[in-house]
Structures are given as C-alpha cells and as structure tokens.
Amino acid sequence: MSSADFLLQGFIKAFELIFTLDPYILSITGVSIKVSGTATILAALTAIPLSFALAFFNFRGKQTLITLINTGMGLPPVFVGLFIFVMLVPAGPLGFADMIFTPFAMILAQYILVTPIITGISLSAIKAVPKSLIETVYTLGGNRKDAVIAALSEARFGIITAILAGLGRALSEVGAILIVGGNIAYSGSIGGIGEGISYTRTLTTAITSETSKGGNFSTPIALGIILIALNLSVNLLANYFQRRD
C-alpha cells in the first residue's frame, strides 16, 4: 500500500466511523463536550461578575488580582494538571473526596485554565466601553446599576467572544485532563472500532492514546476531524459576534 493509499484509507474509514455514529467515537465526543462545556459555563459564571467587579470597583488587592489573571491566561495545562492531581490523589489534601480520574477532576482543571481567559478578555471588552457612554447614562438620569447594565450591554459581543475563546481553549486542551482524568474508557478491548465507552476519555486525550498505539489511524483521524469541526464552529460563532460588535 502506498503512503497516499494509507492516508486515503485512514480518512475513508474515519468518515465511516463518523457517519455511522460509532458509539465509541460518540461517547468520546460526548465526554469532551460535557467536560469542556460545563467547565466553560462555570468559568463564565465566575469570570463575568469578576470582570465587572474589576472594571467598576476599587478594592484592596485589585492590581494583584489583575496580574494573577493575566498570568493565568497563559498557564501551562500540564502544571494545572499536576496541581489538581497532587490535590486529589488519596494522599493529597482533597484525597478524601475520591475525585481523581473522574470527569469532576477534569472540569476542575479546565475551570482553572479557562476562568482567567474569560475574565481577561471580558475585562478588556468592558474597559473598551467609552467613559463618555457611562457618563451619558448618568446624564440621562440613570444610577450606578443602570451604568453597570449599560456597560454589560455594550460589551455583550466581547463577552460572548470571551466565552467562546474559553470554550475553544477547553476543547483543545489535553495536558491537564490527561493527568487528572486518566483517559479512561470502559471496555475489554479499548480502542477497537465500535468498542468501548468513554468515561474520562476526550477527543484530545483519545487522539494521543490512539495514535501512540500505531497501526489503525482511522479512529484518531475521525476524532481529529470532529475536534477541528467543533473548534471551527466555535471560531465561526466568535467571528460572527466580533463582526456584530
């Protein structure tokens, strides 16, 4: 078999897996969306109020917090994975919770990675709202609450873009969730076509393990196509909201 045939066969089989809704592929995709989606929602619920507090209020330690957030935007995932791992292993301070190698641990790791990203981008969007616009709220009879609502409304597309950037980062992240999730799938023969159901195996971690096995590349190619399609959809949405701003 030539190298071109080898690649072609891999892609053909990959599309077969996708279009026949292979349960193994579907379960991995489901875990990815569930883990990254939940982490992003929780991160957004923390990041949006936090970015508003940073934009509108002065408090002690504000500058330190902003520095931490900026640093957090570039946190190495493997370091976050190691940190959560050390916290959650049986001998660690939170070992009693018995959460290591569970989707919860993966959500926690991604939450830590994504929160600074959404906060940082949201804060920039809120700060980009002109001061004159906030003053206009007051001149027209509005109060502080109206000013905050107006700023949220003006920065809405920037905040949505921030959430989508966070989701994109979570979906494509591999280092942290590999360490704390363990890349687990239930099956006697994990990795066979149509065999196995994911527990903590995601698109990215599965690509890592499936590729390292060698031989059959159709499964990692199928997973890669789905991952790219998901990220492309997220980016198209982000572009749409940026254009509307």
Which residues of this protein are in contact with other proteins, per CB under 8 A?
Answer: 130, 132-133, 135-143, 146, 150, 153-154, 245
Least distance in angstroms from the C-beta of 138 to other proteins? 7
Nearer Cβ to other proteins (88/137): 137
Nearer Cβ to other proteins (20/136): 136
- What's the helix, strand, coil split of the chain in %, to 5? 75, 0, 25
Which distant-in-sequence residues (6+ apart) come within 8 Å of 195 by Cβ?
24, 187, 188, 189
Nearer Cβ to other proteins (120/158): 158
User: What's the Cα-to-Cα distance from 181 to each of 24, 44, 76, 178, 221, rounded to whole Å?
Assistant: 17, 22, 17, 5, 22
Least distance in angstroms from the C-beta of 147 to other proteins? 10
How big is the CA angle at 145 (ends 142 and 151), to the nearest 5 degrees? 85
Nearer Cβ to other proteins (150/164): 150
Least distance in angstroms from the C-beta of 123 to other proteins? 18
| Token representation of residue 200 | 């903590």
CB atoms under 10 Å from CB of 67, counted, come to 10
Nearer Cβ to other proteins (60/131): 131
Nearer Cβ to other proteins (42/148): 148
Do 206 and 220 touch, CB atoms closer than 8 A? yes
In eight-state DSSP terms, residue 97 is G
Least distance in angstroms from the C-beta of 121 to other proteins? 18
Which distant-in-sequence residues (6+ apart) come within 8 Å of 19 by Cβ?
none
Least distance in angstroms from the C-beta of 153 to other proteins? 7
Least distance in angstroms from the C-beta of 137 to other proteins? 8
